[in-house]
Amino acid sequence: MTISTELGPVFPAKTDGLLFLDETGTGNYYDAAQRAILDAALAAGRKPPFPFLFGLAGALFRRSDYVRFHREFRSLKQRHFASDLPLHEYDLRRLRTSDFKPLANPANWTAFRDDLQGLVSATPFKIFIATFHKPAMQDNYKTPFHPYKYALEVILERVIFERRWYGRTCRIIAENRQAGLNNELCSELLRLQYAGGGSGIVNSSNTVSADELRATFDPQITFRLKRDNDSGLQIADLAAGPLTRHIYGLDVGEPRSVRDIVEAKLCVGRSGRIMGCGVMCFPQGVPAPAPY
C-alpha cells in the first residue's frame, strides 16, 4: 500500500503532528569475543566488521506541511530518476542499483542535490537524532540501556518540548522491521505512556510525565515498509546515517553527502544550542568535544 497525499487511509484525523523514525546500526551490544574483534579493528584504524554506532532519527512534520512535502518530494524523484522510487542515503553514496547510476555524473548530482536542498529548506519540519557509541556505553554502564528504546524516549521527550510548534497530538510512523522488534517498540511506547520517562535520563528535570506522553502521542505506532515509499521515512533515513557518522567524525570524504542538508533542520534549543535538543549523544562526553 502506498501512502496517499490525503493521508486518510493511514493516519487518524485527530493527530496534528507526524513523527517519522528511522535508525542506523543495530541495537545489540557485544559479547566478549565480538568486543575483542571490535577493539582490535578500531585500534588498528580498520573498519570493524559490524556497526558499533547506533542512531535513531526523527523527522517531525505538521500534517498540512507533510501533505505538500510528500507531493513535491515525489515530483522531485520523477524529475531526476524518471521514477517515484524509494530514496535512501545508502543508495546515494554507493550507487549500487541502476536507478541511481545517473548520479555518478557530477552535473546530475549537483542538480539533484540543489533541488533536494531547496525543497527541504522551504518545508517547515524539524529533525531530532539520538546517537549511541555502544562500546563506550558498555564501558560506562554495567547494564547499559537499550539504544533503540532509550533513543525513542529522549526523542519523544524533545518532541513534547516542541509541541506548540506542530500541534497538540502526534502519530509515530516507523520503518517496519521484524515482528518481534515492532512489538518491542510498541510495548516501550505503552510503557512510557503509563510509567513516564526517566529510565535513564541524568537530568530528571527534563523527564516528561506519563500524562504528557499520553496527551501527545497516539498509542498505536504505524509501521511501513520501504516499498510503501513514505517521504517522511526517507527523510529520516537521509538524516540517521550521515548525522550519526558526522557526530563521531566518521564521514570525512564520503561521496554524495546530504549531511548538511538535513543538518540545517536539526531542532535548536532556546539557548541556540543543538546539542541536548536536536542532537543527543550517549554516553555523555563521547564524542568530545561535541560538534554542536
pLDDT tens, N- to C-terminus, the chain (292 residues)? 333 333 333 444 567 899 999 999 988 899 999 999 999 998 888 888 888 999 999 999 999 999 999 999 999 999 999 999 999 999 999 998 889 999 999 999 999 999 999 999 999 999 999 999 999 999 998 888 889 999 999 999 999 988 766 667 899 999 998 878 899 899 999 999 888 887 654 444 557 888 888 888 988 899 999 889 999 999 999 999 999 999 998 888 889 999 999 999 999 988 888 998 899 999 988 887 778 8
| Whole-number Cα distances in Å, 264 to 117, 127, 239 | 10, 9, 11
Please report whether residue 218 resides in a domain.
yes
Assess if residue 114 is contained within a domain. Answer: yes
Q: Is residue 260 part of a domain?
A: yes
* 204 contact partners, CB below 8 Å, separation of at least 6: 198
Q: Which three cell numbers stand for residue 108?
A: 546530475
Which pLDDT value is given to residue 14?
62
Q: Which domain does 262 fall in, by range? A: 17-282
pLDDT of residue 291: 81
| pLDDT of amino acid 203 | 46
159 within domain boundaries = yes
- First CA to last CA distance, the chain: 39
Looking at the 3D structure of the chain, how many domains does it have?
Answer: 1
pLDDT of residue 135: 92
Quote the pLDDT of residue 169: 86
Q: Within a domain: residue 292? A: no
- 46 inside domain: yes
Q: Starting from the edge strand earliest in sequence, which strands make up the sheet with 53-62, in order?
A: 222-224, 170-175, 17-24, 53-62, 125-133, 279-282
pLDDT of residue 199: 63
Would residue 21 count as lying in a domain? yes
The verdict on residue 147 lying in a domain is yes
Q: pTM value? A: 0.91
